[in-house]
Structure 1
Amino acid sequence: MIDEPLERLRTAARRTRELALNRAATGLGHQDADDDAGTINTDDALGFNPFPLLEAFHHNGIRVVVIGQVAGIMHGSTELTGDLDLLWDGDPAHAPALAAAFTFVNAQLADETGNPMAIHPDSFLRPKVQFTSPGASGDCCTPTLPWGNLHVRGFLDRAITAVDPGGLEVHYVSREDLIQMRRALGRPKDLRRADELEDRQG
């Protein structure tokens, strides 16, 4: 049986790669994304494929929750994206497995100001690190990252798990929590996508 959220994501990632296939590189990454259009217009859309990293999390036994527009797509959003945003619990005991997963996909890390960082368990204990990899780039956050009045740690507990026929498990934030995150960020793309999710929910 095909898991619909994962099939939606596979289809969207394929469409993103096709859309960006013949587009000239701009030198812009997810951190440079326009607040309205999002990362679909950046170089991170080139070759976008989040599954190698999601599979690395699964095989290394680290529970990471997908947030952002990839989670939106899994909930049925039709907007494409070129980045993968992630949330994990920030427990130091789980950091080595997280580092192993990012190492496996040949990722590179940077702090919030763009300074390169080593892939080391301690690097992931920051509120947020940026990552780039051959298939997907984005932000990897812990609940200590400020989200206004939101209690993000609870989002981890309420996350949904999608399972494909091969046994891959992908955890993603619930629709209700994703809408709250969108409203808290408040950028044009976030408000538009929150409206879309609410319309689909209705």
Structure 2
Amino acid sequence: MLDPLAIIASLTRHDVHFVVIGGIAAALHGSTTLTADLDVLYEREKANVSRLSRALAELGAQRRDLPDGVTVGDDERSLWNGTNFLFTTRHGDLECIGETPSGRFTYAQIAAGAERFDLGDGLVVRAASLDELIRMKRATSRAKDNAEVENLVALREVRDAKRR
């Protein structure tokens, strides 16, 4: 069962530079769509990859994006040699995205417009803005993402109406 708070707490403890994207980010903005994993866009900088490696070790992360029987290290070097990874952790599934297709959405770009959410107990996380989530979901052209775009647009309309 997914415990995104535990995963976020570990990433935060290790000072990993990341932004929550995907379903959990949508939920932070008020979406009620369920998700089975935590998606994060992480900074592809050497020191940050090292911090991410330590956080993944603490989480007991195992790669789940490899064919049966194929194993690779989950250490810092392996992380540096790749970009996007699917992990199973003791707190649920985690997708670490270092590079989006065609470089459409960079960490720097998404982080610049990210919103901060207080999750309680001193835990604060940055999540992609509603506008960026909508752009990312539209870019995938997946049926499930197209449905979520409608939800996110409605949430944005409610938010904007409250600001008037």
* TM-score when normalising by structure 1: 0.70
Give the AA of the match of 2:77.
D
User: Cα distance, 1:159 vs. partner?
Assistant: 1.4
Q: Deviations over 1:70-94 (max 9, x none)?
A: 1111111111111111111111121
Shift of 1:147: 4.6
**Cα-Cα RMSD:** 1.8
How many residues matched?
A: 154
CA distance in 2, matches of 1:166, 1:197: 27
Residues 83 and 137 in structure 1, CA contact (< 8 A), matched pair in contact too: yes
Distance 1:85 1:113 in 2: 21
2:87 to 131, 141, 148: 131
CA offset at residue 158 of structure 1? 1.5
The answer as to whether partners of 2:43 and 2:49 remain within 8 angstroms in 1 is: no
> What SS does the corresponding residue of 1:96 show, helix, strand or coil?
helix
- Percent sequence identity over matched residues? 27
- After the TM superposition, which residues 79-158 of structure 1 pair with which residues of structure 2 at under 5 Å, given as runs? 79-111=33-65, 115-125=70-80, 126-143=82-99, 145-147=100-102, 150-153=104-107, 154-158=109-113
Q: Which amino acid aligns with 1:61?
A: D
* Structure 2 stretches lacking a partner, 5+ long: 158-164
Residues 166-195 of structure 1, C-alpha deviation per residue, up to 9 Å, x if partnerless?
A: 211212111100100100001111011011
Alignment CA distance shift 1:104-1:73 (3 Å): same
Letter in 1 for 2:132: D
Q: Give the distance between the partners of 2:125 and 2:119, measured in 1 at CA.
A: 9
Q: How far did 1:112 drift?
A: 5.9
Residues 139, 161 of structure 1: CA spacing in aligned structure 2 closer, same or farther, 3 A cutoff?
A: same
Shift of 1:165: 3.8
Which structure has the highest strand share of the two? Answer: 2
Matched with 1:162 is: 117
> 1:160 touches 1:173 (CA, 8 Å); kept in 2?
yes
Q: Aligned in 2, Cα 1:147/1:73: closer, same or farther, shift over 3 Å?
A: farther
